[in-house]
């Protein structure tokens, strides 16, 4: 896996390159960058600093985004399937129409995130903060919500999700 500096990434992206598959950008400082349609499949972005970035329509399949700072990030139609987002901060992120199928989000912060029509089939959302999140049209089939907090989450269809007595539902009650 090639280690890439922030400067190298931004220069190559500015020159038109979009394919950065399997690069190491761990702990990179990418505050407010515009990287729409970038391909970071199988890349390492562990603990990367990406608040207010625009990664819309990006390919982040199987990317390592553990403990990444993605608050207020634009991830509209991004492909995050089977990515590793454990402990990541995605508060207030735009994840409309994002593919999070099979993603590992255990312990992530999705407070106030917009997951309108996001695909979360089979995602691990254990111990995730989803308070105030927009889940309208989100597919939560087989998504694991054990220990998660969905207080005041909007339009959540949890009928096919895996919940237990530690799950806090949108109305504030815990499951049975």
Residue-wise pLDDT for 44-90, tens only, equals 999 999 999 999 999 999 999 999 999 999 999 999 999 999 999 99
Task: Give the pLDDT of residue 172.
Answer: 85
Q: What is the pTM of this model?
A: 0.94
User: What pLDDT, in 10s, does the model give residues 99-133?
Assistant: 999 999 999 999 999 999 999 999 999 999 999 99
Rounded to 5°, angle at Cα 91 from 155 and 152: 30
Task: Give the pLDDT of residue 176.
Answer: 61
Task: Give the pLDDT of residue 112.
Answer: 98
Domain boundaries, the chain: 1-176
Task: Give the pLDDT of residue 118.
Answer: 98
DSSP label of 102: T
User: What pLDDT, in 10s, does the model give residues 22-49?
Assistant: 999 999 999 999 999 999 999 999 999 9
Task: Give the pLDDT of residue 173.
Answer: 87
CATH class of 1-176: mainly beta
Predicted confidence (pLDDT) at residue 175 exceeds the cutoff of 90 = no
Task: Give the pLDDT of residue 1.
Answer: 83
Instruction: Compute the distance between CA of residue 67 and CA of residue 47 in angstroms, rounded to an integer.
Output: 5
Instruction: Compute the distance between CA of residue 157 and CA of residue 76 in angstroms, rounded to an integer.
Output: 21
Is 61 exposed, middle or buried, given 0-12, 13-18 or 19+ CB atoms closer than 10 A? Answer: buried
């Amino acid at each position: 896996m090639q280690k890439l500096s922030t400067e190298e990434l931004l220069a190559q992206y500015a020159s038109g390159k979009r394919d950065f598959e399997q690069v190491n950008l761990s702990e990179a400082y990418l505050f407010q960058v515009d990287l729409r349609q970038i391909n970071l499949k199988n890349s390492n972005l562990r603990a990367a600093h990406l608040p207010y970035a625009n990664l819309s329509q990006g390919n982040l399949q199987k990317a390592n985004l553990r403990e990444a700072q993605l608050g207020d990030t634009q991830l509209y139609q991004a492909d995050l399937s089977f990515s590793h987002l454990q402990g990541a901060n995605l508060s207030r992120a735009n994840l409309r129409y994002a593919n999070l199928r099979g993603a590992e989000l255990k312990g992530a912060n999705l407070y106030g995130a917009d997951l309108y029509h996001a695909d979360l089939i089979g995602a691990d959302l254990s111990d995730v903060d989803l308070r105030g999140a927009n889940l309208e049209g989100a597919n939560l089939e087989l998504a694991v919500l054990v220990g998660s907090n969905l207080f005041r989450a909007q339009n959540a269809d949890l009928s096919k999700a895996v919940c237990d007595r530690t799950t806090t539902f949108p109305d504030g009650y815990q499951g049975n």
